[in-house]
A and B are shown apart, each in its own frame.
Chain A
Amino acid sequence: MIGLPLDVTFPKLKGIRWRYCTRWDEGPAAVLGMSLLRLGICQPTDWSGSAVDFVERGFRRFCSQNRALEAKRVWVGELRITDSLFELTEQERNQIEAGREGVTEHLYLVGDYEAAASIPVGATLARLQAEHALLPAAFYQVFTTNLYKWMRVYDYLDAQEHAETWMEDLSDEESEASVYRKVDTEMPACIKAHAKTMKYRRAKNTLQEIRPHTGVAREMIRHLLEMDAHGQGQEHAWPGQLNEKDVPGIDDWLMDAENSRPGCLITWYENDAINACFDEEAQHMGENGPCQPNVALPIHLNRPANELDNEVRCVFDHAGAMLRSLAAAAKIVELVRDLYDEYLREHRIESGLPVEPSAAGVREEQL
């Protein structure tokens, strides 16, 4: 069916950009943009008439060159350049900007995660143990050490802390029956036996020395050593490391803010005791104040050009290392999830349909 022609005109405006920003955004972006141009991160062809667009195009290309797309397959979050660490309403922002003389003197690279990536490592550890008794603990140590450079990791240590807090108020009987007790009992022996002795350096040496027989274990270790190489020389840029000089008012804000949201949840198996503790904690995250971002690095725009360039280079080196490291980590997580799926297929007890134990249950289901 063909409708009647409508007298509607669609004008074509050539060369316009799709976003317009206030001068408050454009000014700081222009200072950063000049530095990025000097460093070769932005190119003259990125210029569309907007400084914010200019920086964004360079930043996007930089992220793409550092394997952001591979990282995004697993990690749900964002890496952004912003002029404020605090979440502000439009009204609050307008008030601050109206009261400020000139443009802001700081920008920040901020990294945060919208969701914690689920990493059930139980099946992987069992597979690695078949290769070598020390391999599971070495894998776990190097993997979590490297993840900690870029995010808060929620694993059995967090679950133990949560469990201890809540068990204080329980009677012995309640405590025995609670899920908190299982945090310790469910811990794989291959981790428990070496948790205190397998430090990072020893773990890395172990990974480099052992030659696994299976392809999947070899691949896992290769990606892990690659992840480790990308993170060399980098340390976690927690917001807590910022001082009043970097961010006026940061001390008060940190006092009121909650811990960062975890970027990943490392369990032995899905829905285990660690998962239960995480679910309990996650329900209340952000209730008593804003959560700190996982990564925050300042850029001082008021510095001389050469100092600014050095700082911007360091910040972008950190961002690049983070993205490349997380891209390698994403490959590890995908392998871990594949092994977990394989484990589920092999150990499936129940069919895909929920089954009630009594005949009445089945009848109700049929009705």
Chain B
Amino acid sequence: MKRRILAATPTCRTIDEDAKRVVRALEKVTHGRANTNDPIMEQLKQCPEGFKVGEILGKVFDSLKCVQDGGDLGERYLPPAGTVVPPLV
């Protein structure tokens, strides 16, 4: 019986601490101090090539659009060699 009570204590404390952590984060958002530790911004800082993705993809889709608009079917359905493509879901 004692073991059960002891086992339950740290779990409750963890949930409580998690809730406090989330409340703190939400309070930051309400005060407009969010996005300072945005996970994607952090990762993009570590991988600056990622900023090129939008531009390159735009060119890829532009070339695809040209083909659809009446051009010949060519190799431009594929991104150019070396393109960094983000995961699309």
> Can you name the residue of chain A whose Cβ is closest to the Cβ of B44?
A13
Q: Please tell me which one of the listed residues A16, A18, A47 contacts residue B25 in the complex, with CB atoms under 8 A apart.
A: A47
Residues of B within 8 A of A11 (CB): 47, 49-50, 84, 86-87
Residue in contact with A37 in the complex, picked from B22, B84, B85, CB distance below 8 Å: B22
Whether B15 sits at the interface, judged by CB under 8 Å, is yes
Give Cα distance in the complex from A195 to B86, angstroms. 62
Inter-chain CA distance A54–B84, complex, in Å, is: 30
Most buried by A among B15, B23, B26, B81: B26
* Most-contacted residue by chain A among B30, B79, B86 (CB, 10 A): B30
Residues of B within 8 A of A29 (CB): 29
Given contacts A26-B34, A45-B18, contact A16 B27 (CB under 8 A): no
Fill in one digit per residue for A5-47: 1 if any B CB lies within 8 Å of its CB, else 0. Answer: 0111111111111101001001101110110010000001111
B1 within 8 A of A: no
Q: How many A-B residue pairs have CB under 8 A?
A: 85
Q: Does A49 contact B (CB under 8 A)?
A: yes
Asked if A51 CB lies within 8 Å of chain B CBs, one says yes
Contact A8 B81 (CB under 8 A): yes
CB distance from A36 to the nearest CB of B (A): 10
Q: Given the known A-B contacts A27-B29, A47-B25, are A16 and B39 also in contact in the complex, defined by CB atoms under 8 Å? A: yes
Given A37-B22, A44-B18, the answer on whether A30 and B30 have CB atoms closer than 8 Å is yes
Taking residues whose C-beta sits less than 8 angstroms from the other chain, chain A's interface range is 20 to 34
B85–A9 CB distance below 8 A? yes
- Asked if A103 is an interface residue, CB under 8 A from chain B, the answer is yes
**Does residue B55 face the partner (Cβ distance < 8 Å to A)?**
no
Per the bound structure, the CA–CA distance linking A103 and B31 in Å amounts to 10
Name the residue on A nearest B50 (C-beta): A11
- Residues of chain B lying within 8 A (CB to CB) of residue A46: 22
What does the 1/0 interface line of B50-89 toward A look like (CB < 8 Å)?
Answer: 1000000000000000000000000000110111111101
Given A7-B82, A10-B85, A45-B18, A34 contacting B23 (CB threshold 8 A): yes
With a cutoff of 8 Å between Cβ atoms, the chain A residues found around residue B18 in the complex are 44-45
- Binary interface profile of B, 11-43, with partner A (CB < 8 Å = 1, else 0)? 000010011011101110110101100111001
Given contacts A11-B47, A11-B50, A16-B39, contact A30 B22 (CB under 8 A): no
Q: Which residues of A contact B81 (CB under 8 A)?
A: 6-8
Provide the residues of chain A in CB contact with B15, threshold 8 Å: 44
Q: How far is the CA of A45 from the CA of B50 in the complex (A)?
A: 28
A327 vs B83: C-alpha distance when bound (angstroms): 48
For the complex, what is the distance from the CA of A33 to the CA of B18, rounded to whole Å? 14
A6 touches B29 (CB 8 A): no
Q: Could you tell me the distance between the alpha carbons of A37 and B21 in the complex, rounded to whole angstroms?
A: 12
When chains A and B are docked, how far (Å) is the Cα of A17 from the Cα of B34? 15
Cβ B39 vs Cβ A23 within 8 A: no
Task: List the A side residues contacting B89 at CB < 8 Å.
Answer: 18
Cα separation A37 to B39 with both chains bound (whole Å): 22
Docked CA distance A30–B22 (Å) = 10
Q: Which residues of A lie under 8 Å from residue B79 when comparing CB positions?
A: 8
Taking the nearest CB of chain A, how far is it from the CB of B3, in angstroms? 26
The docked-state distance in angstroms from the alpha carbon of A7 to that of B15 is 46
A222 CA to B70 CA, complexed, in Å: 61
The reply to whether A8 and B83 contact each other, CB–CB distance below 8 Å, is yes
Can you report 26 A-B residue pairs in the complex whose CB atoms are below 8 A from each other?
A7-B81, A8-B82, A9-B84, A10-B85, A11-B87, A13-B40, A14-B43, A16-B39, A16-B40, A16-B43, A17-B39, A17-B40, A18-B89, A23-B32, A23-B34, A27-B29, A37-B22, A37-B26, A44-B15, A44-B22, A46-B22, A47-B25, A49-B38, A51-B29, A51-B34, A54-B26
Question: Apart from A16-B40, A23-B32, what are 20 other A-B pairs with CB-CB below 8 Å?
Answer: A7-B82, A8-B82, A9-B83, A9-B85, A11-B49, A17-B39, A23-B34, A30-B27, A30-B29, A33-B26, A34-B26, A44-B19, A44-B22, A46-B22, A47-B21, A49-B39, A51-B26, A51-B29, A51-B34, A54-B22
Enumerate the 8 nearest inter-chain pairs by beta-carbon distance, A residue then B residue, closest first: A44-B18, A30-B29, A7-B81, A30-B26, A16-B40, A47-B22, A30-B30, A44-B22
